[in-house]
Structure 1
Amino acid sequence: MTTWGWSVMALLAGFVGLIWSADRFVEGSAALARRLGVSKLVIGLTIVAFGTSAPEIMVSLSASLREAGELAVGNALGSNLANMGLVLAITALLVALPIQHHLLTRELPALLIITLLAGYTLYDGQLTRPEGVLLVAALTITLGALALTRRAHPEEVDDEIPNYTGMAATLWFLIGLIALVISAELLVWGAQNLALAAGVSPLVVGLTVIAVGTSLPELAASVGSALKGHQDMALGNIIGSNLFNLLAVMALPGLIQEPVMDRQVFHRDYLAMAAMTFTLAIAIGVDYRLRRNAHTGSGEARGHLGRLIALVLLAAYIGYYVWLFNTL
């Protein structure tokens, strides 16, 4: 088999392995943490939230150790674009997604601030170690702030934690972790070889193939939950995943490799991601305000993300790809 063939097989095996192992790792970690007496609040804000970005984090770590930091940054930005322009757009086209009040007062403002912070770290075309530390510090502060606010609203905490025995929890934690590492290594190795064979930069592979591939589980989960009538958390999950991508996934290459990147990373890829983020935020805010009198009751959804904004996000995502391939 040719190198191209082995690279494609490694890429596919890496995707499948990441999808399977991320779920096992999160379930094992959450169950083990509960066995050790960690509160549901902390588990929900850390382990469960981390789970949606576990594939991207492991790919970022592997890519950074292989001195492919551009691929890791591309994966973070591309995953955020895919989360909004693909996952969220397709889900909202199928079912209108409720807008919860806490998204407007907590998670969404945090995402906007962190998006600006990410732009600051990428503006000069280099992600340095101090900037990586800054992103990790921002992650710690964000999790702490969310913990303080959610402690006052325990009804918002997800309590769906597997009830494993201590042995089973430890076993699934170890199996998931090992499989995540191996799968990420296969994926990055295959991606690097394919980029070399196709004559494109690892950045482009991270923005396209890997970003879409690592977002497919979220697409399946979001669409499946929405069709079953559990669409309340879809929007919040996307916002949380984007937060982790910018603060955890993008911090790793800065901490490990300090990659120097093409200026297009900021002027094309980051600006496209930021524009889509702010467009989504404005659409959520406007719809919520326009419909604020349609429902009553504290914490009740007063607006929804419908087909119009979904079509705008999807069109913007397609437009970004046209822009990307025209600038290669």
Structure 2
Amino acid sequence: MLIDLAQVAAGLVILLVAGDLLVRGAVNLALRLGIPALMVGMTVVAFGTSAPELVVSVQAVWIGAGGLALGNVVGSNIANILMVLGLPALIAPLAVDPALRRDFAIMIAATVLFLALAMGGVFHHWQALALLLGLGLMLGDNLRRARAIRAAAPAEADDPGDLEGADPALPGWKLTLFLVLGILGLPLGAQLLVAGAVDIASALGVSDAVIGLTLVAVGTSLPELATTLLAAWRREAGVAMGNIIGSNIFNLLCIIGVAGMVGPIAVPESMLRLDLWVMAGSSLLLLPFILRGAPITRPVGLALSLAYAGYITFLVIRGG
């Protein structure tokens, strides 16, 4: 068990480091190729920050642990709202921009599509294609919006100054090193994490879906949590909600869409009864804050954090 835990910890560390290197390398490469900073933020960074979850899920499906892949996505979306928004709000209220209403509506639409497809009990190729089609529509919408923003304010759209990972002075050899280490590190970290998680599930007598909903989901949500905690500490948490909404959309449409093309992903009965609805309910909790533009205050953050603690406790009891 200790060896498996060490394997999971090592896999998480490698995933986090490799994901960060890949994002930095991809951002700077895209900017050098003349891609506008706004488009980089909406596409390259979004894909890069979802890379750990994507590689973990594909690896899990590849070895026949589809429940872990599905649990990773559903659990990450729940953790992103209840934990990643809840804990930082205890430090400082999180601002909510009413301009996120369109993105929030897309997230709810993606959630409804995901739930409808999951009711069939299995994600086959055609369900995966439906999710990828939704992803394509979302990216096309972002592209149209980005062009409109760039046309309205071209100077701001091309300014990479505020883009995470952008460094105009980054030498070419370091950019290449970041990309190579990121590309090589992600599958290595995913292999260690998935293998260790499956062994832990077997040793504890719980399903791989429960491990995905808890251990793996929390682990792959650590980058978002660390970023949001730091932003809250610096009183600069205004973009936290946008990051969470974007991450949840990519988790639902991209990760299961790609993983479902590798092989079928069965939906456990327990997930159909509870976890999918917890994910949907967690998403709807944001509705009043989005509509009113009201900040997530400390009491709300405490309630979200306690709700997540209660959910994880229930999963452990259910799994054990």
Deviates more, 1:148-157 or 1:71-80: 148-157
Amino acid at match of 2:111: T
> How far has the Cα of 1:156 moved from its partner?
7.4
Instruction: Indicate if the aligned counterparts of 1:127 and 1:253 stay in contact, CA closer than 8 A.
Output: no
Question: In the alignment, which residue of structure 1 is the partner of 2:222?
Answer: 216
Equivalent positions of 1:52-67 (< 5 A) are 52-67=49-64
Q: Give secondary structure in 1 for the equivalent of 2:307.
A: helix
Separation in 2, partners of 1:260, 1:246: 15
Question: In the alignment, which residue of structure 2 is the partner of 1:291?
Answer: none
Amino acid at match of 1:64: V
Question: In the alignment, which residue of structure 2 is the partner of 1:118?
Answer: 114
Change (3 A) 1:239 1:305: same
Counterpart check, 1:314 vs 2:305 = yes
Question: In the alignment, which residue of structure 1 is the partner of 2:100?
Answer: 103
CA deviation profile, 1:144-193 (whole Å, cap 9, x unmatched): 11221233334578822222233322221111110111011110011111
Question: In the alignment, which residue of structure 2 is the partner of 1:185?
Answer: 191
Deviates more, 1:243-252 or 1:172-181: 243-252
Deviates more, 1:258-267 or 1:183-192: 258-267
Question: In the alignment, which residue of structure 2 is the partner of 1:297?
Answer: none
Separation in 2, partners of 1:202, 1:252: 19
> How far has the Cα of 1:130 moved from its partner?
0.6
Separation in 1, partners of 2:259, 2:21: 25
Q: Give secondary structure in 2 for the equivalent of 1:102.
A: helix
Which residue of the other structure, out of 236, 239, 247, is the alignment partner of 1:233? 239
Which residue of the other structure, out of 119, 125, 128, is the alignment partner of 1:129? 125
Instruction: Indicate if the aligned counterparts of 1:60 and 1:250 stay in contact, CA closer than 8 A.
Output: yes
Separation in 2, partners of 1:130, 1:215: 28
Separation in 2, partners of 1:97, 1:91: 8
Separation in 1, partners of 2:204, 2:159: 44
Q: Give secondary structure in 2 for the equivalent of 1:305.
A: coil
Q: Give secondary structure in 2 for the equivalent of 1:98.
A: coil
Instruction: Indicate if the aligned counterparts of 1:35 and 1:166 stay in contact, CA closer than 8 A.
Output: no
Question: In the alignment, which residue of structure 1 is the partner of 2:153?
Answer: none
Question: In the alignment, which residue of structure 1 is the partner of 2:167?
Answer: 162
Separation in 2, partners of 1:198, 1:176: 32
Separation in 1, partners of 2:288, 2:127: 28
> How far has the Cα of 1:39 moved from its partner?
2.3
CA deviation profile, 1:236-257 (whole Å, cap 9, x unmatched): 1111111111111222332111
Instruction: Indicate if the aligned counterparts of 1:283 and 1:309 stay in contact, CA closer than 8 A.
Output: no
Change (3 A) 1:141 1:115: same
Separation in 2, partners of 1:266, 1:166: 49
> How far has the Cα of 1:117 moved from its partner?
0.7
Amino acid at match of 2:12: F
Separation in 1, partners of 2:228, 2:158: 18
Amino acid at match of 2:301: A
Change (3 A) 1:156 1:312: farther
Separation in 2, partners of 1:156, 1:89: 31
Question: In the alignment, which residue of structure 1 is the partner of 2:33?
Answer: 36
Which residue of the other structure, out of 4, 7, 28, is the alignment partner of 1:7? 4
Structure 1 moving runs of 4+ over 4 Å: 154-158
> How far has the Cα of 1:213 moved from its partner?
1.1
Change (3 A) 1:284 1:41: closer
- Aligned-pair identity (%): 37
Counterpart check, 1:304 vs 2:295 = yes
Which residue of the other structure, out of 124, 137, 144, is the alignment partner of 1:148? 144
Change (3 A) 1:282 1:264: farther
> How far has the Cα of 1:233 moved from its partner?
0.6
Structure 2 unpaired stretches of 5+: 151-155
Separation in 2, partners of 1:276, 1:236: 16
Counterpart check, 1:262 vs 2:268 = yes
Separation in 2, partners of 1:310, 1:259: 34
Separation in 2, partners of 1:184, 1:54: 10
Question: In the alignment, which residue of structure 1 is the partner of 2:13?
Answer: 16
Separation in 1, partners of 2:3, 2:87: 32
Structure 1 unpaired stretches of 5+: 289-302
Question: In the alignment, which residue of structure 2 is the partner of 1:176?
Answer: 182
Separation in 1, partners of 2:276, 2:208: 16
TM-score under structure 1 length normalisation? 0.89
> How far has the Cα of 1:36 moved from its partner?
2.2
Aligned length: 309
CA deviation profile, 1:297-326 (whole Å, cap 9, x unmatched): xxxxxx322123323322332232243234
Amino acid at match of 2:252: L
Amino acid at match of 2:131: L
Question: In the alignment, which residue of structure 1 is the partner of 2:259?
Answer: 253
